[in-house]
Amino acid sequence: MTFDSVIQPILNFVRDHQAWAPVIVFVMAFLESIVGLSLAIPSTPLFVGVGALIGASNIAFWPIFAGVALGGFIGDWVSYWLGLRFKDTVISWEAVKKRPQVIDRAHRFLERYGVLAVFIGRFISPIRSFVPFAAGMFRMPWVPFQAANAASAGVWAYVLLAPGAALLRSYV
């Protein structure tokens, strides 16, 4: 199974069922932001593709932006909570056990950059979902975590969607 075999049917569905687009991108962003699942969900190329669909059609930008941002925000919150409450259980998950160095990298990243790591970490694959998990594991205070989480979710959604939307709208 290739990325194209997964992404193209989703893009076709979004194009054909535009009313469902915000829900679809919410689910994809949410799943990609859950610790361990981010390694299996190819949503970044999907979001870039959805941005291009927005630019090439009459799909509204802001509802899809809200779906991506909200899905990423809630997904990171869930990863933080999993780290806080279930760190030993999650570390035993097969997807996490296959790449133990990712937790170590995320922890070192958090130690070095603190709350800024939560913001920056959203843009670095494959540690994207592991930074919030490590923040929970190592008990980063909730309010600074959520502030960085909210800010990064909005910027992340915009960075992924806006270029394709803006460029293709200017040519179509």
Residue 170 pLDDT class (50, 70, 90 cuts): low
Confidence (pLDDT) at 156: 96
Higher-confidence residue of 121 and 11: namely 121
Mean pLDDT of the chain: 86
CA dist., res. 26 & res. 20, Å (int): 10
User: For residue 142, is pLDDT > 90?
Assistant: yes
pLDDT tens across 71-96, in order? Answer: 999 999 999 999 999 888 877 878 77
CA dist., res. 56 & res. 45, Å (int): 16
Spacing of C-alpha 121 from chain mean position: 10
pLDDT tens across 21-68, in order? Answer: 899 999 989 998 998 777 677 678 888 888 888 888 878 899 999 999
Average pLDDT over residues 90-104: 78
Residue 113 pLDDT class (50, 70, 90 cuts): very high
Residue of 101, 106, 44, 100 whose CA lies nearest to 71: 44
pTM confidence score? 0.86
pLDDT tens across 124-137, in order? Answer: 877 788 899 999 99
Phi, psi of 78 (to 5 degrees): -65, -40
User: For residue 147, is pLDDT > 80?
Assistant: yes
DSSP track, 74-141: HHHHHHHHHHHHHHHHHHTSHHHHT-HHHHHHHHHHHHHHTHHHHHHHTTSTTTTTHHHHHHHHTT--
Confidence (pLDDT) at 172: 47
Average pLDDT over residues 12-21: 85
